[in-house]
Amino acid sequence: MFTIGAIIAVSTFLILFSTSYDLSIFIPTQRNYLNPYFFLGAIHELYSDLASILIVLIFLISIVFIAIISYAFTSSQKKDISIMKAFGTLPGRIYKFYLSEVFFIFLIGFLLGVILGLSFYYIFTSIMTFLDFSITFEFNTLLLSILFILGCFSSLFTSAIFLERIGKKSIIQTFSKDVPYHFCVEKLKYIPKWLSLLGKNVKFSILNIKRRKGKFKQYFLIFLIISMIIFTVGLGTLVLRNTSKTWINKAQGEDILVIGHKNVVFAYAGMYSMFSNPNLLIHQYQIDLTDGSYLFNYSEISELETIPSLLQIDRRLLSFCNLQEIQGIAGDENAEIRTIGENRFGNFPVMGLNLFSLSQFYELEGYPFTTENANYTMIIGDGLANTFFEEPFNQRLQFIDYGVQFFISGIFIDTLYSGFASYMGLSQFQTLLEIPSDNINLLLLKPIPNTLEYSISQILPIIRNLGNQFVCINFETIFSENSDFIDKLTLYNLSVISLMALVSLLSLYNFQKGDLTDKIKDFRIMRALGSPLKNIRRILFFEGLFILISATLLSFAGGMIVNSLFLFENVILPPLYVPFLLSGIIMVFYIGLNSLTILPIIKKIQQEKFNEL
């Protein structure tokens, strides 16, 4: 009951933890943020996929644990069941009696676990909030209900299987010898004669595993899932961190200097901060970005082109516009035509830019617009693509106030306005807004690396021409906030890995200790016959090792499949050695854990007295 409670507590904690950033597709979004666009773009999609895989694996490990515990519990009642059968109790009554018992044990364990899990999570969120992490405390009824149903089914099903097995045996068979339910008495066919040459301890551990293969299978399954969680989350985290950081760095650039009216520059900075700040929203009613006082004529500062340390001078025009998603038509595999889109509308920032002089190198899905098609083609951000459109490449975007529609040729992954901005040709945007062709409200400059100080010193005298309301700001600090946010997400996954590592430590100890009840007499006999304690230590070590190595290798394969099916499609893959290295680290960690868990076991064996022989 307490073990079930502990499993449910860990599962509850992990499930609630997964809701922290609305990271799972299984969890209905309950966004109460001031900023409705906070972290809703492509990066969120990837992290959401990983969290969803994680939740599936958590469910899986809970079910397996509960099944093993229930089976072991029912099988420990074997003798009583045999007595009941001997006295003529009807099978239906035996089922009813033991399944009710298993159910109540599960129910109490579950309630205990949920209370424990919720309490731990509450304490955890309080600590994290105190440390300035934005984690919410939510009670997720849906997921906990699913966990209850799955756990209950797994518990009753495995117990019923045991009852059915024992029901098929004759009463005499169930009474005789009292062979442990997991003990293999058949002749071992695949134990080669030369096994002894590997050493008696290796041989003995292999024999132990073969004889107690039921137990071996149980723990193999547990460690397989634990390793798969660690491997999948570990590799997923590395891949996602690498991918999202690369995307963000490409979109934001390094040492980017922004020139503009201070109000526009601050609004622009805020639009970037919206990616990682749920309580910040820049909207059209706060600032009219195309107000005459915010616009400036580039020719007034064209002297900037004479500064040798500037790599790129990137003219921009930023404005809020009323946009509408226009329905499109798409054909599916059966050549059936269907209408897509819901004609959603909203007010979002649109950026006019020149793709040939970009200071930032966005990750682009699709194609850029060209000089030829810039009049009717534009690019949208990943946030818009994921939530405003259904199939953006088959739809169009309309500027409501101007009645103009644009095809979408590509999607930028950008943190600006959390991916809810759009991008079009600068001159086309100027024409649309009826702004003279030289007028812009932002100028982005990219200096040669390590020339930032020098560049600023050269720029400042030039922009004085624009007036004292115009500033030149280094966006590094604003950009690094978004980068730090990704690190926090990584921290979230690392916490999951740490918790799973703790679970694996306890499971391994439980395996060695639980199995010891069966083995302790054998070890006592071995010691009585003159076997040194180090032999027993090695036998235990090898038994654990065989489980861990096989589980790690299989989890490597499983984790790679899961990752490639659900995550790898759109990400930047790490070098090939990374998954191998990760698997190696997990294996080394397990070997260390294995050695560690043996210590108290050996101490227990050492305290055993021979007079019980």
The residues of the shown chain that bind other proteins, judged by CB under 8 A, are 177, 179, 183, 185, 187, 196-197, 200, 204, 207-208, 211-212, 521-522, 525-533, 535, 606, 609-611, 613
What 3-state class would DSSP assign to 290? Answer: coil
61 vs 209, which CB is nearer to other proteins? 209
**Which CB atom, from 31 or from 200, has the smaller least distance to other proteins?**
200
Shorter beta-carbon distance to other proteins: residue 204 or 556: 204
Q: What is the chain's alpha carbon radius of gyration, rounded to the nearest angstrom?
A: 32
| 370 three-state secondary structure | coil
Quote the tokens at residue 273.
């901060």
Task: Show the CA angle centred on residue 399, arms to residues 398 and 404, nearest 5°.
Answer: 75
- Our CB check for other proteins shows the closer of 533 and 561 to be 533
Question: How far apart are alpha carbons 545 and 425 in whole angstroms?
Answer: 62
Amino acid at site 87: F
69 Cβ partners below 8 Å, 6+ apart? 3, 4, 7, 155
Rounded to whole angstroms, how far apart are CA atoms 25 and 260? 40
- The token duo for 554 is 């299989």
Rounded least distance, CB 193 to other proteins, Å: 8
Residue 189 Cβ vs other proteins, minimum distance, rounded to whole Å: 11
Distance in Å, CB of 516 to other proteins, minimum: 13
**Tokens, residue 435:** 């702004």
Q: Minimum CB separation from other proteins for residue 166, in Å?
A: 18
- Residue with Cβ nearer other proteins (92 or 530): 530
**CA distances (Å), origin 568, targets 58, 243, 367, 467, 565:** 21, 10, 21, 50, 7
- All residues at 6 or more sequence positions from 593 whose CB lies less than 8 Å from its CB, including other chains: 504, 505, 508
> Checking DSSP bridges between strand 257-261 and strand 442-447, what pairing results, if any?
antiparallel
* Six token digits for residue 245: 């950081």
Alpha carbons within 13 A on the beta-carbon side of 297: 4
Instruction: State the Cα–Cα distance between residues 111 and 99, nearest whole angstrom.
Output: 18
User: Looking at beta carbons only, is 131 or 529 nearer to other proteins?
Assistant: 529
- Minimum distance of other proteins from residue 206's CB (angstroms): 10
Nearer to other proteins, 32 or 611 (CB): 611
Q: Cα dist. 183→173, 214, 248 in Å? A: 15, 7, 56
When the beta carbons of 84 and 207 are compared against other proteins, the nearer one is 207
Tell the smallest beta-carbon distance from residue 128 to other proteins (Å): 49
**Both structure tokens of 479:** 């950009």
Angle between helices 141-168 and 78-86 (to 10 degrees): 50
Shortest distance (Å) from residue 220 CB to other proteins: 18
Q: How many CB atoms lie within 10 A of CB 302?
A: 12
Task: Choose between 193 and 338: whose C-beta lies nearer to other proteins.
Answer: 193
Rank residues 229 and 545 by Cβ distance to other proteins and give the closer one: 545
Cα separation, 320 vs 174, in Å, equals 79
How does strand 377-381 pair with strand 404-413?
parallel
> How many residues in the chain?
613
CA distance 179 to 76: 11
Smallest gap from Cβ 555 to other proteins, in A, equals 27
Between 329 and 528, whose beta carbon lies closer to other proteins?
528
